[in-house]
Structure 1
């Protein structure tokens, strides 16, 4: 899959300089390493702070060489981390793969839109299915966790305290890139569905939590951390 990716994901950028300064610095440094830059995406909003996506029109060997040479490189007083993005940016399809092929690019956008609509239609079914399965468990503490390793842009939160508030969760997960919304489903046990705009961003959110454990005090309004409780986060089943 990596052999098809021409978009790099940049992390740990200095958040203080302006977006224009950051993009200019990235452009000059990557250009000096032989990068044929298609686009640089960087934003100042909470979800994209300290991050950027750079799409290149180079061979995969060249891109690997550029990635290696700039890994942990200091840019604007901050050592950056570089990895391949999960998917290519729209700019890659528009300016490289389907350059001068407007109909092909429109078809790509239409197919992506259909896929998104299909996922939305499945969401309610997933919610009901997970809620029914959760209802079968005897107690909150002994609930058998529903687990899935198959990437999904929707994440599942389990073993939440009954007092958990939907707004508190929305406020907490809003800091993650690509977050759309969060819904709580009340059955015998409380569960939540966290929706992202794509699997790349949901994966990044999931990787933030060690072993899928979410300390409840970080989003619940409580100062009692002695009796520490954990919720659990995983990909929702497709």
Structure 2
């Protein structure tokens, strides 16, 4: 059964021997080139081992990431990627469609009203006393995994690198075709295709400065009438 397109993608068949924080960091580095990531959820419980959820801000980003990396070898195991069956809570809250467990839709204006009500009813020191009595839960301190702002992400993408990442390539793409395009630029070294994936590839130059004019000249180049090549600098 085909799942509806979603901002959240579900990944399984991940290497469960990788430490959780390293896994999340590596997933972010790999998937952030496709769009703004709001959150990455990965847990090491028995039920969730080898699985993760990546929440993009835009459905289009999730779609491109899924098409580009489904089956991509990640820590020696091919990833299996599909849309998540349920919309993530962070997306629901952004859209104002979040529904609490009781079944009541919680609107942003309702949350603000509740905050104001709590300010009026809670006296200084009340919360601490109630927490000691077990009447309220004390929030746990957790490390933030929030993605960088759009401005920070854009700045990172503009940092030149001697390796270029190509995406949105047509199925008939091969290394000879790409070499003919890029070897006209000084410093060209090689084209590296991804096994089993014809829509993405890497092109390496001798130096960062050699890669810059190639990216600028061929950005958006249409190998076919329906595929405009997307070129990004690889992460340093």
After TM superposition, the score normalised by the length of structure 2 is: 0.40
Q: Say which structure is richer in helix.
A: 1
After TM superposition, the score normalised by the length of structure 1 is: 0.40
Q: Between Structure 1 and Structure 2, whose CA radius of gyration is higher?
A: 2
